Structure formats: C-alpha cells, structure tokens
Amino acid sequence: MEGIKVSFENEPYRDPDFIINHKAPFNAEPKPDVLVQSFITPTEKFYVRNHAPVPDICPTAYTLKIDGLVGQPLTLSLNDIKTKFEKVTITAHLQCAGNRRTAMSEYKKVKGVGWGIASLSNATWGGCRLRDVLLHAKIFSKESGANHAVFWGLDFGCPEDNGKPYGSSITVEKAMDIDGDVLLAYEMNGETINRDHGFPLRVVAPGIIGARSVKWLDKITISPHESESFFQRRDYKIFHNGVDWNNVEKYWDKTPSLQELSIQSAICVPAPNSALYLPFTITGYATSGGGRKIERVDVSLDGGETWDYAELLGEDKGVCTKYWGWTLFRYTITKLPQLEGKDSTKIKLVCRAWDLSSNTQPKDVKDIWNLRGVMNNCWHTVDVTILNQNKKSNL
Amino acid sequence: MEGIKVSFENEPYRDPDFIINHKAPFNAEPKPDVLVQSFITPTEKFYVRNHAPVPDICPTAYTLKIDGLVGQPLTLSLNDIKTKFEKVTITAHLQCAGNRRTAMSEYKKVKGVGWGIASLSNATWGGCRLRDVLLHAKIFSKESGANHAVFWGLDFGCPEDNGKPYGSSITVEKAMDIDGDVLLAYEMNGETINRDHGFPLRVVAPGIIGARSVKWLDKITISPHESESFFQRRDYKIFHNGVDWNNVEKYWDKTPSLQELSIQSAICVPAPNSALYLPFTITGYATSGGGRKIERVDVSLDGGETWDYAELLGEDKGVCTKYWGWTLFRYTITKLPQLEGKDSTKIKLVCRAWDLSSNTQPKDVKDIWNLRGVMNNCWHTVDVTILNQNKKSNL
C-alpha cells in the first residue's frame, strides 16, 4: 500500500513511564496517580490500545474512501477533510471495553490484554463531523438500509483477524445524530494527532467503547449490516457467564455488540496497600456512556456498608450538548474513629458512580464476569492501612 | 377554581381487580400476570399513581397557561391544543420511581406508598409535542436562563405539600429535544384520556420517572430553576444509605432530582411461591430510561449463579427514534436435572436486564436501599417449587 509502512520496527516513541500491558502490538496505560492529575490527559500520557503495528502514513498520499449506501462515493484527501468541512473541537474521554480486565481475571481467568484501571483518558479532539462528510456523500435513508457506518483502519496485520486491518462499526443513528458529536479527528489536544493515536485521521465516537473509534482510518462503508470484522462480530461482547470456549460459537450472533459505555468509576489515589496518615484525599474518575452526566459518586470507608458523597471536579461539557468528558472526584478523610488508641487500622475504600439515569455500578465482579473480560465496572475497592500520627510521635 | 371539583367523593370508576396500595389518594397496580398479557396495557389496567383527589375538569372551561421565560405567554384552550399543533402518537411506558418499593421496605423500612412490581404500564399516547407549544410561546434560549419546564397540576390537595397541587419539572433540554418526544397528551390508547390518567391534558415525558409526567396540567412555567414543589426538591431522590430522617435536610439540596429511569426488569409469571409442573414459561418485563433499547434479559434458575438469555418480545419503537416502550420477555423451562427421582425441588428464578449501554441491574436491594424507597431495580427473584409429573402419576 503506497505511502504506508507496517512493521513493529517502526513504532513511535512512547513515554517511558507507561505501564506496558503488551509490547507488540503496543498496549499501555499511565500510572493511576498520573492519570487523574489533570482534567485533560496530556497526549503522551493517554492510554494506547493498538491491535497491530502502527502504520506510518504519508499525509500527502493519504486518502479517505467513502462508499456503500451513498449517492456520491468519495475519495477525500487530508486537505479536503480539513478545508471542505467545518472544524469542530470537542472534549471527550475514550475508554477501552477491557478497562479493569485484570481485576476480572483475578476472579476467574479471562482472555485478552490485561488492563489495570487506567485504559481510559480524556482529551480534546479537533476535526470535522462524520455527519457532514456523510451528508456530502449523500448517504441513503435508513429505509434504504443505511444502518451502519463501517470503518476500516490502515493497520494491516491484526493477528486475531488473519492479518486484516482493524475494523469496526457504529450505527448510522449515532453517526448522523446532530448531538452525537462523532468526529473524523486530525487534532488531539490542539496538536496534529500523533501516530499512536491515529495519524493522520481517526474516528472519535464519544460515549461508546473505544473499540469503535477506529484509528488510521482508511475507508467508511455505509451498510445494512454491522462490520464483519472479528472485533465487531466475535470480540467486544458481554457473553453471559455460562459461555465458555467450547460453546462460544453458538453465542456470537445472539450476543449484541457493545456500543455505549456503562457507568464506571475507580479510585486512582491512594494506591492499593498504601500506608497513610490522616488526613488524606481519595481521587478518582467517573464516566458514563451516551454523554450522560455523572450525578453522584459515593465513597465508602468500610467496604460498602456506609457511603458519603464525593466532591465532583471537572464536569465540563464544553461546546457539546452532552457530557462526553470524564468527571474527576475527590474525598478527604480527616478522622477515623476506629484509629483512636491504635497504631494503625486497615480500611477498605470503595467508590461507585451514578449517572443521570440512576444507573450505578454492580457490586461484585463475579456477577458480571464474562469470557472476554469486557466492561468490568464493578465497585472499585482499595485496601489501605491508616497509621496513627499521634502514636508515632509518642514513640 | 372554576369548572374544577376536588373531592374524594368524586373519584372515577376503577377496575375491581386492581391491587390497591392506597385508597385516598388512589394508588393501585394491576396483578403482575395481568400486566404482561399484552404489549399495550389496556387503559383500565394501567397503574394509577395519584397524590390528591382526582379533579373533575370541565373541558370547555379548561385552559393551559404557559409563562416564565417565554417571549409570548399563552393561554390555550383544549381546542387550541388539538387544532393549532400537529398531533403525534407515541408508544411509551410510564413507571413510578416507587416501583418495587415494598421489596425495598422488606429489607429495611422505607417511607412511601407500598408498590409491588407492577407500578408501570405501557400505552400509546396522542397529543401535541411540548416542544411545538414552547416554540409557539417563543421560549427563551438556555443562555437566557431557560433551563427547566415547570409543571403544575390541578389536583389541589396534596397532603405532602400543604394542600398545593402536584408539581414537578423536566429540563428544557429534554422538553425541546426533537427526539425527546415529550407530549401534552389528550388521548391514551386511542381514546380521550380518562380522569385517572389526567383528563383533559397531561404531560407524557417518556424515558424519565413517571413523577415528571404531570396530570391535569394547569400551567407550564419556563424557569432558570427546577420546580419548587416538594415532589421535585425533597422527594423522588435517591439518598445514600447514611441519610435518615434526622439528617435528611442536609441532603435535600445536594442530592440530584431523579429524571431518567434506570435499567429494570421483573418476573411477572410465575407468581412467588407457586408450585409448577414442567414445562413452564417465565414471563416478565424489562425497561430502561432515555429510550435506550433493551439488548438482553438474562434468566437464572439457581439464584444468579448461572444465566441464559431470555427471548425478547414486543420490542417496538413505532414512529419514535427511541425505545420508550417496554420489552416483554419469556423463557421456557422444559427440564430440570435436579428434579430427577425427587417429588419436587425448590428453585430460585432470577431475571436481570441489560440495555444498549451495558448497564445492568444491581444484585442486592441492600446496596441501593434509600430512605424514600425509590428506584429499586435490583435483580428480581421468585422462589418456586417444581413438582415431578412422573412421580405424581406413579402415585
């Protein structure tokens, strides 16, 4: 393919502080305490989820193809994308459906790249609306079968899909929703998008799982059907817990493909098994799908027996009509009655979020366990030891 | 008030088969097996949630007032409503935020009308779009503070609110959303709406708690603030479980008012503690808020240890872009290995739904218990005894 090199020998530079979950293809997340240091995640700290080598695309040779159920198939240069369509900037988080998979695997082994609690990040994205491009291509009506916008990347070499590039789809309803804010993005955090995040052009489909925001976008086909990619039809589905590797084939078709993200939150500070003096502050993130506002984050100091409301920070929908960005939260603990007279006490911190639809997180990973380890959004628990400052100074 | 009589002596006729949870004001639900007999609930079976005596309104004297942050305050007759604005018909379920409150109270006492699992129903509604009326009234922009559509009913005499009529509000964002489908309804199931359901005019705000769909609509005020009614500011909120009647005042303002419904499902057939022969069929309903499609209902025969997918029936969004109606489901059990050689066996049936946002129901009522007993959407469990047909014929 002209102007494109695909090889693991040609990977971009990465932040040395990343937690690397898989080297090739590269999959990495920032340390949790780094993740919540700012509302906008710096580009070099933004989690990276690749399925193949990062293509090295010559921007002047690059074209985007649009075909399928459209009246006017298009081939657009990067310059066309930048000049023919209105530029829009949105703030949105992206989150891998595999976020918190490692914790699911700890309950019972699942298959997939292990992720901690930081395979999500929040950025600003600049580009044109997918809607505008599809209108330009004279997209057919739903009655004519225009149901899905099918994306293919240029990252040839996905091992799960026999070396094909990564592919995925979203509904035309989402693609064409004036408030859906699906972008073809060429900027990230005010700069040209970098190679790891999809240079020169990627989909940013806010409010739905990161897997649908295809990077290094090669082609968009408007189709009556979902993408036929492995990643749409076989992966990124929540199978019920009776599905295993012996019977999964029976369930591929009857289990829906994931689209919107569910309600999620996690405690990023303090780290598990920390030893801390009072006062200390819990900091974390909360997110929901579909642009639904986070209404509340509850924090518990006793494993979920009693709760209090955390303070919500960084609620910001910017110019968007919906809440695509994440919400950071904090909660400060100044006293702990059970510490009195003791050297230390162990406590179990828990958080759970609620969105404007009163959806909240399930308690136990057991109840949402699934073969592929996706959408682990159970209560997030962090065990810490609180040390008695007075006792220490008495020594 | 001219043309309106308010007295418990003048209540309408009701179905004698209703389960009455409170007599005056009248609060009643159908029997669960009756509830799921059809996709559209017959009007006389539709649950009734009143807060005061049912007003007896003379339709020719009736007017709807629109004021507040609008360029053109309006007073509209019923005839104006019916003739000046396009008539729209939608299918939508309404659900009381107190649905399944009795089960919450069984865990730990809450305050409020006790409801079983049937304080929801599904109907077609005919009327005009609230959006069209507000555009006609030249509603101000959000920048001018037009944030909430505040509704007042004509049901004077709500005891909780010092004899004021029932009041509530929704966001202007929901009211004006072209896909939000908020109606001022004068028809229900193809007939003139009856007194118990709001004659001559009510709000139908699909996808959000029933409490916002104000009946016997007197006035709409466009305001920077939510309704000041008791039912907006103090009731219909999920307080965390540390809030009790001694400290609730501290939490009124910092706990958000409920709007969108959360994910919900329940088994309506068989009834709890039934004794059944194989094969038998479980039937129930599943709903979600915000018009989100029900993607999956899981059924368990062992208290939630293992699951299978139920068959979904009656998914029908009609002319709407969103799924406001409920989804009925069924699951047939033809064999039960543990019954072999025994006279009978006790099993625990459970259901839980998932919506397109991968939100699912919490397992335990304990974890979502709240002082007012709202939004109980925990897994629904039904204990039944399965009898061995073969054993019986052997006797």
Percent of chain A scored above 90 by pLDDT? 91
Q: What is the least distance, in Å, from the CA of A13 to any CA of chain B? A: 35
The pLDDT tens digits of the residues spanning B6-31 come to 689 999 999 999 999 999 999 999 99
- Tell me whether residues A362 and B364 touch, CB distance under 8 A: no
Helix (H/G/I), strand (E/B), else coil: A232: helix
A393 pLDDT band, cuts 50/70/90, is: low
Of A260, A356, A358, the CB nearest to B358: A260
The C-alpha atoms of residue B117 and residue B48 are separated, in whole angstroms, by 13
Q: What are phi and psi of B124, to 5 degrees?
A: -100, 145
- CB of B343 within 8 Å of a chain A CB? The answer is no
Q: According to the model, what pLDDT value does residue B395 have?
A: 46
Of B254, B288, B304, the CB nearest to A367: B304
Which pair of tokens denotes residue A80?
């066309």
Residue of A359, A360, A370, A374 to mutate when probing chain B, most B C-beta within 10 A: A359
The C-alpha atoms of residue A253 and residue A234 are separated, in whole angstroms, by 8
Contact between residue B96 and residue B248 where contact means Cβ atoms under 8 Å apart: no
Residue of B255, B263, B358 to mutate when probing chain A, most A C-beta within 10 A: B358
SS (H, E, C) chain B: CCCEECCHHHCCCCCCCCEEEECCCCEEECCHHHHCCCCCCCHHHCCEECCCCCCEECCCCCEEEEEECECCCEEEEHHHHHHHCCCEEEEEEEECCCCCHHHHHHHCCCCCCCCCCCCEEEEEEEEEEHHHHHHHCCECCHHHCCCEEEEEECCCCCHHHCCCCCEEEEEHHHHHCCCCCCEEEEEECCEECCHHHCCCCEEECCCECHHHCCCCEEEEEEECCCCCCHHHHCCCCCCCCCCCCCCHHHHHCCCCCCCECCCEEEEEECCCCCEEECCEEEEEEEECCCCCCEEEEEEECECCCCCEECEEECCCCCCCCCCCCCEEEEEEECCCHHHCCCCEEEEEEEEEEEECCCCECCCCHHHHCCCCCCCCCCCEEEEEEEECHHHHHHC
- Tell me whether residues B358 and A261 touch, CB distance under 8 A: yes
A315, pLDDT greater than 90 = no
- Tell me whether residues A359 and B255 touch, CB distance under 8 A: no
Within 10 angstroms of residue A133's Cβ, the number of other Cβ atoms is 25
Q: What is the least distance, in Å, from the CA of A357 to any CA of chain B? A: 4
A106, pLDDT greater than 70 = yes
B227, pLDDT greater than 70 = yes
Q: According to the model, what pLDDT value does residue A42 have?
A: 98
Which pair of tokens denotes residue B319?
């002319």
- Tell me whether residues A295 and B256 touch, CB distance under 8 A: yes
B55, pLDDT greater than 50 = yes
Q: According to the model, what pLDDT value does residue A392 have?
A: 59
What number of CA atoms fall less than 13 Å from residue B197's CA on the CB side? Answer: 26
- Tell me whether residues B306 and A354 touch, CB distance under 8 A: no
Which pair of tokens denotes residue B75?
């007073």
Tokens 């695909």 belong to A6
Mean pLDDT of B203-211: 98
SS (H, E, C) A172-226: HHHHHCCCCCCEEEEEECCEECCHHHCCCCEEECCCECHHHCCCCEEEEEEECCC
Contact between residue B291 and residue B324 where contact means Cβ atoms under 8 Å apart: yes
Q: Which residue has the higher pLDDT, A153 or A392?
A: A153
A112 pLDDT band, cuts 50/70/90, is: confident
N- to C-terminal Cα separation, chain A = 71
Beta bridge partners of A387: A277, A344
A317, pLDDT greater than 60 = yes
Cα A51 to Cα A13, A72, A89, A162, A322: the distances in Å are 17, 31, 27, 12, 29
Tokens 């070499």 belong to A157
The C-alpha atoms of residue B364 and residue B369 are separated, in whole angstroms, by 9
CATH of B4-252 among 1.10.10.10, 3.90.420.10, 3.40.50.280, 3.40.718.10: 3.90.420.10
A313, pLDDT greater than 80 = yes
The C-alpha atoms of residue B105 and residue B115 are separated, in whole angstroms, by 10
Of B242, B263, B307, the CB nearest to A240: B307
The C-alpha atoms of residue B111 and residue B104 are separated, in whole angstroms, by 10
Of A289, A308, A358, the CB nearest to B258: A358
A288, pLDDT greater than 70 = yes
- Tell me whether residues A290 and B357 touch, CB distance under 8 A: yes
Q: What is the least distance, in Å, from the CA of B90 to any CA of chain A? A: 19
**3-state percent breakdown (helix, strand, coil) of chain A, nearest 5:** 20, 35, 50
Q: According to the model, what pLDDT value does residue B5 have?
A: 64
- Its CATH architecture, for the domain A264-394, is Sandwich (2.60)
What number of CA atoms fall less than 13 Å from residue B209's CA on the CB side? Answer: 27
For chain B, the structural domain boundaries read 4-252, 264-394
Mean pLDDT of A334-357: 95
B224, pLDDT greater than 80 = yes
- Put simply, the chain A residues between 293 and 322 with a CB less than 8 A from any chain B CB are 295-296, 298, 304, 306-309, 321
Q: According to the model, what pLDDT value does residue A320 have?
A: 76
B350, pLDDT greater than 60 = yes
The pLDDT tens digits of the residues spanning B76-112 come to 999 999 999 999 999 999 999 999 999 999 999 998 8
Q: According to the model, what pLDDT value does residue A185 have?
A: 98
- Tell me whether residues A357 and B262 touch, CB distance under 8 A: yes
The pLDDT tens digits of the residues spanning B330-343 come to 999 999 999 999 99
Beta bridge partners of A27: A22, A49
Mean pLDDT of A75-86: 98
In chain B, which residue's Cα lies nearest the Cα of A303? Answer: B367
- CB of B141 within 8 Å of a chain A CB? The answer is no
Percent of chain A scored above 70 by pLDDT? 96
- Put simply, the chain A residues between 29 and 58 with a CB less than 8 A from any chain B CB are none
Q: According to the model, what pLDDT value does residue B153 have?
A: 98
Average pLDDT, chain A: 94
Contact between residue B49 and residue B101 where contact means Cβ atoms under 8 Å apart: no
Q: According to the model, what pLDDT value does residue A116 have?
A: 97
> What sign results for the dihedral spanned by CA atoms B364, B368, B369, B375?
negative
C-alpha dihedral over A261, A267, A273, A278, to 10 degrees? Answer: -170
The C-alpha atoms of residue B195 and residue B27 are separated, in whole angstroms, by 14
Residue of A357, A365, A367, A374 to mutate when probing chain B, most B C-beta within 10 A: A357
Q: What is the least distance, in Å, from the CA of B296 to any CA of chain A? A: 8
A395, pLDDT greater than 50 = no
Q: According to the model, what pLDDT value does residue B394 have?
A: 45
Torsional class of A375: left (φ above 0), alpha (ψ -120 to 50), beta (otherwise):
left
- CB of B173 within 8 Å of a chain A CB? The answer is yes
The pLDDT tens digits of the residues spanning A249-261 come to 999 999 999 999 9
Q: According to the model, what pLDDT value does residue B3 have?
A: 57
In chain B, which residue's Cα lies nearest the Cα of A174? Answer: B321
DSSP-derived letter for residue A51 is S
Contact between residue B114 and residue B105 where contact means Cβ atoms under 8 Å apart: yes
Q: What are phi and psi of A13, to 5 degrees?
A: -65, 140
Q: Looking at this protein, which amino acid is placed at residue A282?
A: I
- Tell me whether residues B260 and A298 touch, CB distance under 8 A: no
Beta-carbon contacts of residue B393 (< 8 Å; ≥ 6 apart): none
Beta bridge partners of A304: none
- CB of B161 within 8 Å of a chain A CB? The answer is no
ipTM of the complex: 0.90
The pLDDT tens digits of the residues spanning B254-295 come to 999 999 999 999 999 999 999 999 999 999 999 999 999 999
